[in-house]
Structure 1
């Protein structure tokens, strides 16, 4: 396949590197308005073609697919043009700036009979895949709640809140694990550093299954945390993405309730057993993701993280942002349609 990568800021070069190393990618074109970024790519990958003109990418009939790694405000217009030009499209997270834009891109892709895929890379990572496997096997039992922290000192964004910047990672993983999107969302946040751009947020998610989740997000924290706790009826799990080796740990801990048979009988017993760290596969998630995109385009299969997958995250982001801007009210996700 011949593929163009549009946007060479923070993430674009990583996408390009992985595509360059995949046998399924025959020709690569890099596109960015900044010529200095193109020069860096050209010096590192001499065979990669470069251009500052997106229209040139659209007019090139040899290019089969376009990878969009620009700021989110450009996702919709660029993806729309690429689909209208008959290209398959991969869009980095978050999918679009609004659910309406996401719905329009999904419809356009169907009309053009082209694939559209969203860059929820964590859904291709060994720890997240292992956790999904454990949940489906019933290892944790009925899931009670999920608590996640994604905080660091920076990097502050100029165009989006901390919710739109950081929450897509956790939302996509949580929705993937549970196999559902939230029905209700609420959020509180503050703009402590840049007026009008919240840098700290606490998001609550409620699911139809009864599971609840809390996601803490911050650009204003003393240390980097990437930690998720999943509590089930049988066992508990901690996923720490900052760990080098044992990223996932399963705790045989819990509380057993027994109906009292006599007055005054203590009816709670606490269980504390072994702590196990399952073996994880070793591969680069981004390479797996890019290879999956190429395969879907070539074979006509539906991407794991397709437009609908990206849209459910955007809906939750919109609901969280709306709640945060309206004093933390509880928002029914579908009510914003």
Structure 2
């Protein structure tokens, strides 16, 4: 199949490189308003044609799909034009800059029988694919909590705050690995702007999940140290993912509170309850070394060929977008829990 990459800025070159080497795809064109920038990317991937006109690209009947790597505010018009032209689409995070626009994109793709895929790249890393597999197999038991930290020094974005810049990664991962996806009814967000930039540079998200579980996400542009870590606690085992540790990205701990023993306590005094703690082995699953975007391009092709929704489909992008919008509402209400708008999901049902 033939694909065009729209946007030759920060993320476009990565998409172009992976589509160019994929056995599933022929990279047909690099499209960007800046011809010099488009040519620079094209030269790096074998000298494919360039275009400065999206209309020209979408009018080409030999192009099956486009990959969108443009600013979030442009996603809706670009994707809607592509869907109207009968093209399958993968679009980088966030799906759109507003939930209503995202819902229209998803609804249109489904009505036209086209694949709309959210490029939630982290979901296609070998580590996250393994986490999803372990949770689905019941290796961790029922999930009790998810605690995620994504902090580093910069870059302070000119158009979005730290929540919209960094949290989509963690939210998309949580949506991908949990069997029920992101099902939070409310979100509480606390942010700080100590540099007086006019936007949150440090932020904390809290999301109550089904069954009494909870997810917590810490994002930060101001940390002198870089941390990419997620802890997922279950009734059987706890998993720690350290994305910056190539020797041991995943660690599974067979330790925690024995809930079965706790339930046998007959006293009403919780302090006297006979809680048992397990102190078992720790092991690290073996992971293949494969670039996440390579897995993403393969999934995009498979979804199109098999006429199915992609693993990270438009609906998953919409769930992440709904959480971000609720976080914005919570920030405006001094961190009070803010309801997640479920009407977008109702539109898709």
Query: Which position in structure 2 is the counterpart of 1:213?
Result: 215
The answer on whether the counterparts of 1:158 and 1:197 sit within 8 Å (CA) in structure 2 is no
The answer on whether the counterparts of 1:183 and 1:208 sit within 8 Å (CA) in structure 2 is no
Query: Which position in structure 1 is the counterpart of 2:70?
Result: 70
For 1:335 and 1:40, locate their aligned partners in 2 and report how far apart those are by CA, in whole Å: 43
Query: Which position in structure 2 is the counterpart of 1:222?
Result: 224
Unaligned runs of 5+ in 1: none
For 1:69 and 1:135, locate their aligned partners in 2 and report how far apart those are by CA, in whole Å: 31
Q: CA shift at 1:262, angstroms? A: 12
Q: CA shift at 1:214, angstroms? A: 0.5
TM-score, normalised to structure 2, is 0.91
The answer on whether the counterparts of 2:16 and 2:45 sit within 8 Å (CA) in structure 1 is no
SS of 2:189's partner is strand
Query: Which position in structure 2 is the counterpart of 1:240?
Result: 242
SS of 1:209's partner is helix
For 1:154 and 1:164, locate their aligned partners in 2 and report how far apart those are by CA, in whole Å: 14
For 1:304 and 1:212, locate their aligned partners in 2 and report how far apart those are by CA, in whole Å: 23
SS of 2:231's partner is strand
Query: Which position in structure 1 is the counterpart of 2:300?
Result: 293
Q: CA shift at 1:199, angstroms? A: 1.1
Query: Size of the alignment, in residue pairs?
Result: 337
Query: Which position in structure 1 is the counterpart of 2:313?
Result: 306
Query: Which position in structure 1 is the counterpart of 2:83?
Result: 83
Report 1:134-173 matches (<5 A).
Answer: 134-173=134-173
The answer on whether the counterparts of 2:191 and 2:200 sit within 8 Å (CA) in structure 1 is yes
For 2:21 and 2:319, locate their aligned partners in 1 and report how far apart those are by CA, in whole Å: 31
Q: 2:192 aligns with which of 190, 203, 225?
A: 190
Q: CA shift at 1:44, angstroms? A: 1.9
Q: 1:277 to 1:27 in 2, by over 3 A?
A: closer
For 1:335 and 1:289, locate their aligned partners in 2 and report how far apart those are by CA, in whole Å: 27
Q: CA shift at 1:270, angstroms? A: 2.6
Query: Which position in structure 1 is the counterpart of 2:290?
Result: 283
Asked whether 1:274 is paired with 2:275, we answer: no
Q: 1:196 to 1:4 in 2, by over 3 A?
A: same
Q: CA shift at 1:334, angstroms? A: 2.8
Q: 1:265 to 1:3 in 2, by over 3 A?
A: closer
Q: CA shift at 1:97, angstroms? A: 0.9
Query: Which position in structure 2 is the counterpart of 1:121?
Result: 121
Q: 1:111 to 1:262 in 2, by over 3 A?
A: closer
For 2:196 and 2:54, locate their aligned partners in 1 and report how far apart those are by CA, in whole Å: 32
Q: CA shift at 1:83, angstroms? A: 0.9
Query: Which position in structure 1 is the counterpart of 2:326?
Result: 319
Moved more, 295-304 or 214-223: 295-304
The answer on whether the counterparts of 2:153 and 2:226 sit within 8 Å (CA) in structure 1 is yes
Moved more, 215-224 or 183-192: 183-192
The answer on whether the counterparts of 1:132 and 1:176 sit within 8 Å (CA) in structure 2 is yes
The answer on whether the counterparts of 2:83 and 2:89 sit within 8 Å (CA) in structure 1 is yes
SS of 1:16's partner is helix
> Can you list the C-alpha shifts for 1:40-74, whole angstroms capped at 9, x where unaligned?
12322344111112121122222111110011111
Cα root mean square deviation, aligned:
2.0
Query: Which position in structure 2 is the counterpart of 1:5?
Result: 5
Unaligned runs of 5+ in 2: 345-349
